[in-house]
Structure 1
Amino acid sequence: MPPERQRSSVPVLTDSLEIGGVTLPNRLYRAPLLEHAGNGPDAVDTLIDELEPAAVAGAGLVCQGATIVRAEGGCAAPGMTRVHDPEFVAQLARLTGAIHDHGGRIAIQLEHGGLRSMETWHRGFRERNPDLEQLAVSRSPRPLRLLDRLGFLEYDPHVLTTAECRELAADFGRSAAAAVDAGYDLVHLAGANMGILHQFASPFYNRRDDEFGDHARFFEAVLAEIRDRAGDVPVLTKVPAETEAPPGVAPTLSAAECVRLCQRLDAMGYDALVPVNGSAFWDMSVIRGAFPGRSWRDERFREGYVDAFGSRPRATLVAAANWVESFVYSREPAWNAGLCRRVRDRIDAPVLCVGGIRDRSTVDRLLGDAADAVGMARPFYAEPELPARLLREDAAADGVAAVCEDCNNCVVPQATGEPGVCRTPAVLERAGELRKDGAYDRDP
């Protein structure tokens, strides 16, 4: 086993961090979230409204949420933005300029959902787009075929040929090149959370017998395409460990295998890695926390749930499964820290940690131990300018923490195309009090 890496100093949150030649002004970042901006005439303004406040508040890095590298298919949720068209991406220079005006850096997250896409799980979308193919790395795993036979999901996937795998990697490269031309500082790959990159990495999904049967090969092909088309832009990626897969689901990617995969990605030239624990399925292992009963009961979203899941009984069944999972995947602070620590001990590239990080004291404990930078995502729905509080010199001593309660009421309506916003009155009231008290004000 290779020796553990030694890093000479313990950083603090306000220290700068270099990733692939780009210097972040500090080590706090807004992790990718669904913005539901789409590609319409208001898309760029929507993204500016969503992302600029984090830069105004001092976030060292702002990550735009998952964007799709193809013109059709691949969206994991309604309203995702596509970045296959260079003319559209060029308009995003207004967004990158707004972030840069405040001294921040911005990354674009690139994705294709594969079997996690709406053409698999969203009943209404599938009925309205009957000719849209589901793309798969291999034939659907047996548990998914069983769900298909039972009528819970519908799988009729097209398994990518070797040439089609290469073409999909090229789509990532083309989208990255357009993004760099528009002023993005970094490219962030959606390498986990059951997207297509995760599926290539997972032994549960990937049973190919060609070159892409190597679970790191698609990551390598994507990186090569980005380097060829977009130059030396820093590239980071999430890396999955399927440690939370349900009992009996096999084979899955263990924590040890995730560490080895990270070592290979580091050797390939990835500029930073974000290791995350999760499942082999799209479930609450990704978000964790409480059952979002308020959102499931809200009549405003009822018809959207019926459209997404096919009927009221099906929507009720999904809600029941969500309730059960809330006990299985209860929230724990910084749930990826142990995995990040193991990876950080073995690679040279910076390691970024996300998942259940909510207060400055936890941030300070992670830096230099489990991570080189830390990210938060859902708390920004309630506090778009959260970094202004967390970056204060006395934040740890004052016990500064996000007001987010991990109730997940922001998440479920996104299946209907609703934007990600905080919907919990007590949380919004607390954020309003902080704003009234000037907690989000910053010195020039």
Structure 2
Amino acid sequence: MARLSSPVRIGDLTVPNRLYRAPLLECAGNGDGAVDDLIDALEPAAAAGAGLICQGATVVRGEGGCAAPGMTRVHDPAFVADCTRLTDRLHDHGSTVAIQLEHGGLRSMETWHAEYRRANPELQQLAVSRPPPPLRALDRLGFLSYDPHVLSTAEVYDLAADFGRAAGYAADAGYDLIHLAGANMGIVHQFLSPFYNRRDDEFGDGVRFLDAVHDAVRAHAGDVPLLTKVPAETAAPPVVRRRLSREDTVDVCRRLADIGYDALVPVSGSVFWDMSIVRGAYPARAWHDEQFRAGYAAAFGGRLRAGLVALANRAESWWYDFDPAWNADLCRRVRDAVSVPVLCEGGIRDRSHIDALLGDACDMVGMARPFYAEPELPARLLADDRASAVCDSCNNCAVPQVTGAPGVCRTPAVLDEVGRLRKAGAYDRD
């Protein structure tokens, strides 16, 4: 019987337990002090006992492709080599470390961030195919701005090679696993999705891109374990007819396991970058906080448009209400179909729920947003089978990140409870 404290093998790597910090946006960037910021963000989870720490989405090219402000780029071998300080620090605590590689494609800031577009007018989005009609309509209405460059076949291979080179730099810097950002409307998702991918070459089969990335990673990083998120577009609006069903996603996962991916992270969501990936309450505190209003206006092209985005956010919060462990059923279907470890994340909060999932729906369990409130959360979850994260899924941590603000908990009641637990010694370890 799988237990949270028991080790698990991913490829040739032994992860010391089955709890992981899922990828989050650390907002470290690449400037002076970036590696120190990453250490500050990630070390508490390692010190608290998490078996695996996933550094959040990092961009594999030197320009374009950032989906949000503050993302770190890993195209420069000198910068990544300095991350050895990070991996050494996390290894000292007994944790293993993954880096998530990303390119935003049509989701990049050059699409949606008005101020960034004005400052970088020469940037084009990388596109798998011509943007779908709903996105072109938003472009005509002025909410998005598309000037896409559809990748040629040769350029797709070049992009796969960039993923491989970044993986090689990371392996040399001591990262134990390579994690692809294969969902949330990033470019890997766009290759897999029939909503985005209407190519007529070999990459019209989106798995072929992940096959090419696998080969590039192996060429540059050897046998470092490789895992990826795999999306199911089950939360897409009914008007979107070309989408990935659960059955499609299970089939994609079978193929990826056959290609040689060492672990899989199935996640359900929409074809868009919306609240289907961060289900929970409308973040009223964040939207109405005066310190962020100028940043929202800069991002969305004025206060009126920012208000319309907030209104859409409110509507989505009704549609995508919080659902505990919302990916569990999809993970269970994938686990029944493949022989590699399956990782489950999304809406997992309770230790009792974790114990029920392990060995049934998945082989490892991850959390993301709860770490903004409790950086040392693993200490409680590993020690107490009745423990529960204090995060209330209000999303006040996430929305300000569009302004470049760091991801931190801003909800007083939650922070008060964290303070009480800290005073009681709940995060202390022997």
Same fold (TM over 0.5): yes
Q: Does 1:201 align with 2:192?
A: yes
Structure-2 separation of matches of 1:107 and 1:400: 26
Q: CA deviation at 1:240?
A: 0.3
Matches within 5 A, 1:238-387: 238-387=229-378
| Cα-Cα RMSD | 0.5
Q: What residue number does 1:120 align with?
A: 111
Structure-2 separation of matches of 1:64 and 1:150: 36
Partner residue of 2:54 out of 33, 40, 63: 63
The aligned amino acid for 2:237 is: P
Q: Does 1:229 align with 2:216?
A: no
Q: What residue number does 1:412 align with?
A: 399
Structure-1 separation of matches of 2:3 and 2:24: 25
Identity rate of aligned residues, in percent? 70
Per-residue CA distance 1:13-57 (angstroms, 9 max, x = gap): 000001011101000000000000000111000000000000000
Structure-2 separation of matches of 1:316 and 1:224: 45
Q: What residue number does 1:423 align with?
A: 410
Per-residue CA distance 1:120-148 (angstroms, 9 max, x = gap): 01011001100011110000101111111
Partner residue of 1:161 out of 152, 155, 159: 152
Per-residue CA distance 1:381-435 (angstroms, 9 max, x = gap): 000000000001xx22xx2100000000000000000000000011001001101
Give secondary structure in 2 for the equivalent of 1:187: strand
Q: Does 1:38 align with 2:25?
A: no
Q: What residue number does 2:39 align with?
A: 48
Give secondary structure in 2 for the equivalent of 1:404: coil
Structure-2 separation of matches of 1:152 and 1:95: 39
Per the normalisation by structure 2, the TM-score is 1.00
Structure-2 separation of matches of 1:238 and 1:63: 12
Structure-2 separation of matches of 1:377 and 1:413: 16
The aligned amino acid for 2:71 is: M
Per-residue CA distance 1:230-257 (angstroms, 9 max, x = gap): 1000000000000000111120011100
The aligned amino acid for 1:140 is: P
Give secondary structure in 2 for the equivalent of 1:188: strand
For structure 2, which runs of at least 5 residues remain unmatched after alignment? none
Q: CA deviation at 1:149?
A: 1.4
Q: CA deviation at 1:152?
A: 1.8
Q: What residue number does 1:3 align with?
A: none
Q: Does 1:100 align with 2:91?
A: yes
Structure-2 separation of matches of 1:105 and 1:127: 40
Q: CA deviation at 1:215?
A: 1.8
Structure-2 separation of matches of 1:141 and 1:40: 36
Give secondary structure in 2 for the equivalent of 1:322: helix
Q: CA deviation at 1:154?
A: 1.2
Give secondary structure in 1 for the equivalent of 2:337: coil
Q: Does 1:137 align with 2:128?
A: yes
Q: What residue number does 1:5 align with?
A: none
Partner residue of 2:389 out of 380, 402, 414: 402
Structure-1 separation of matches of 2:129 and 2:173: 35
Q: CA deviation at 1:283?
A: 0.3
Structure-2 separation of matches of 1:319 and 1:16: 43
Give secondary structure in 2 for the equivalent of 1:391: helix
Per the normalisation by structure 1, the TM-score is 0.96
Partner residue of 1:27 out of 18, 29, 36: 18
Q: CA deviation at 1:311?
A: 0.5
Q: What residue number does 2:202 align with?
A: 211
Structure-1 separation of matches of 2:77 and 2:370: 32
The aligned amino acid for 1:433 is: R
Structure-2 separation of matches of 1:357 and 1:60: 17
Q: How many residues align?
A: 430
Structure-1 separation of matches of 2:281 and 2:223: 42
Q: What residue number does 2:76 align with?
A: 85
Q: Does 1:74 align with 2:65?
A: yes
Q: What residue number does 1:436 align with?
A: 423
The aligned amino acid for 1:437 is: A
Structure-1 separation of matches of 2:65 and 2:25: 14
Per-residue CA distance 1:107-127 (angstroms, 9 max, x = gap): 000000000000001011001
